[in-house]
């Protein structure tokens, strides 16, 4: 029953957020995504969820949850407690919600896309990708030399972070296995990443665009400079998301949602034909490709509010993922240096990236979405694109993120053994 309430909370709280933003100018300025993260963090850290025993966290071994049968078997053997079972069910529910809403949101966000306009961003995007990888390598190497004496096997952590910040959590888990990382180090690295990632996303969806526009070109599809007045006019807020529930929009949106579900099903089916480590990559590639193909159908492309419906699912995702962050762990003094290493890797690479973007005249939105796609993974691209009020960078961000998935494990292994050999 607790998991049912949790699912209802994840899907209904965004509706409350949208209503609050509708009636309050202050809340609207803060933004629906920011509020979703705040609510998620509160849910996950006010003591509603059980903490879980040390034995349970050891059994997780870096995974989000334990399969139900294995969890029940360990409970019957006395290895884990009833609270651990409840926490495992909560983790399973969180993972299921995120697994469902992101593959549904991406096609919906792409249906109304101007594909020709998006293609124009790819040239500067690939240069931005190269800059991002270079910046990450430099910052990870700096962090390794700063903290290698205080972090056990920091070269392994370095490899994990390179994989994490080019390909996301799937690469982090794969590299933890490949490099034989201690489970507690993996869990803490992942926890710190969630916390720092949320701080990074807060920056990107609130003040980053305004600040970076002072030193970087403004986005116009080509990365050229534009006047602040032009940018302001093109960045006006989209239609109120509560318009999703108008009678005139429900039926066309139901068609669009049905197509998104079919695309999700095709992507999920194809992912079963490839090895497990390539399943996420297959799903993302498939739903992105099919979403783009369907956007070329005039009837689908002209359906109103598909982007907003996709953003609703993004809000569900935002509440769910924020509720997974454990803020208590960050205050463990013995692991402070690991937290600092994550900070150096994330914000150090971001600063280097911004400096190089200014030198190579890469626009603000391309810079932000590149860092987002690599540092927080492709599912967060629509979140940031929505905050930037620029859906034309979604394809760019997902493309960069998919490339990151593909190369993250290779780069992670390379940098780990390179630093070990120094």
DSSP string, 84-153: HHHHHHHHHHHHHHHHHHHHHHHHHHHHT--HHHHHTTHHHHHHHHHHHHHHHHHHHHHHHHHHTTTSTT
Residue 255 is predicted with a pLDDT of 93
- Residue 193 vs residue 230, higher pLDDT: 193
3-state secondary structure of 361: coil
Confidence of residue 258 (pLDDT cuts 50, 70, 90): very high
Q: Tell me the mean pLDDT in the region 190-196.
A: 80
Residues composing the chain = 422
pLDDT at 221 over 60: no
Whether the Cβ atoms of residue 413 and residue 160 lie closer than 8 Å to each other: no
Q: Specify the higher pLDDT residue, 367 or 286.
A: 367
Element (H, E) at 167: helix 154-167
Instruction: Tell me the C-alpha distance between 172 and 285, whole Å.
Output: 19
pTM assigned to the model: 0.68
Q: In this structure, are residues 4 and 285 in contact, taking their beta carbons and an 8 Å threshold?
A: no
Domain ranges of the chain: 107-315+329-421
Query: CA–CA distance from 332 to each of 148, 236, 270 (Å)?
Result: 19, 43, 42
Smallest CA-to-CA distance from 365 within 347, 348, 385, 335 is with 385
Mean per-residue pLDDT, 362-369: 91
Expressed in percent and rounded to 5, the helix, strand and coil fractions of the chain are 80, 0, 20
Report the chain's mean pLDDT, rounded to a whole number. Answer: 81
Q: Which residue has the higher pLDDT, 356 or 178?
A: 356
Q: How far apart are the first and last CA of the chain?
A: 54
Judge whether residue 360 has pLDDT over 50: yes
Q: What is the mean pLDDT of residues 270-282?
A: 79
């Amino acid at each position: 029953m607790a998991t049912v309430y949790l699912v209802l909370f994840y899907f209904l709280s965004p509706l409350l957020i949208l209503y609050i933003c509708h009636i309050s100018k202050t809340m609207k300025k803060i933004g629906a995504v920011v509020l979703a993260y705040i609510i998620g963090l509160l849910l996950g850290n006010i003591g509603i969820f059980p903490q879980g025993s040390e034995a349970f966290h050891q059994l997780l071994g870096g995974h989000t949850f334990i399969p139900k049968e294995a969890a029940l078997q360990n409970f019957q053997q006395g290895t884990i407690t009833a609270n651990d079972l409840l926490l495992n069910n909560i983790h399973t529910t969180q993972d299921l919600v995120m697994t469902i809403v992101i593959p549904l949101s991406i096609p919906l966000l792409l249906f109304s896309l101007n594909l020709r306009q998006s293609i124009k961003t790819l040239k500067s995007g690939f240069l931005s990708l190269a800059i991002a990888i270079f910046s990450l390598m430099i910052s990870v190497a700096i962090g390794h030399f700063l903290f290698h004496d205080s972090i056990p096997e920091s070269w392994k952590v370095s490899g994990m972070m390179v994989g994490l910040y080019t390909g996301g959590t799937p690469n982090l888990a794969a590299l933890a296995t490949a490099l034989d990382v201690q489970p507690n180090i993996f869990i803490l690295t992942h926890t710190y990443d969630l916390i720092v990632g949320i701080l990074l996303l807060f920056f990107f969806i609130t003040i980053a665009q305004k600040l970076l526009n002072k030193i970087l070109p403004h986005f116009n599809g080509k990365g050229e400079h534009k006047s602040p007045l032009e940018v302001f006019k093109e960045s006006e807020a989209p239609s109120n998301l509560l318009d999703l529930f108008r009678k005139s929009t429900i039926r066309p949106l139901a068609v669009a949602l049905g197509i998104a579900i079919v695309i999700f099903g095709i992507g999920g089916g194809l992912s079963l034909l490839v090895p497990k480590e390539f399943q996420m990559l297959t799903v993302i590639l498939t739903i992105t490709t099919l979403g783009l193909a369907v956007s070329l159908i005039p009837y689908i492309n002209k359906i109103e509010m598909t982007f907003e419906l996709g953003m609703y699912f993004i809000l569900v995702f935002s509440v769910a993922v924020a509720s997974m962050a454990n803020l208590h762990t960050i205050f463990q003094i013995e692991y402070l240096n690991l937290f600092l290493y994550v900070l150096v890797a994330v914000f150090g690479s971001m600063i280097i990236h911004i400096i190089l973007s200014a030198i190579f005249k890469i626009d603000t939105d391309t810079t932000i979405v590149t860092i987002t796609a690599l540092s927080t993974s492709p599912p967060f691209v629509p979140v940031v694109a929505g905050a930037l009020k620029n859906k034309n960078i979604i394809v760019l961000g997902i493309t960069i993120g998919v490339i990151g998935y593909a190369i993250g494990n290779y780069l992670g292994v390379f940098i780990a053994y390179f630093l070990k050999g120094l």
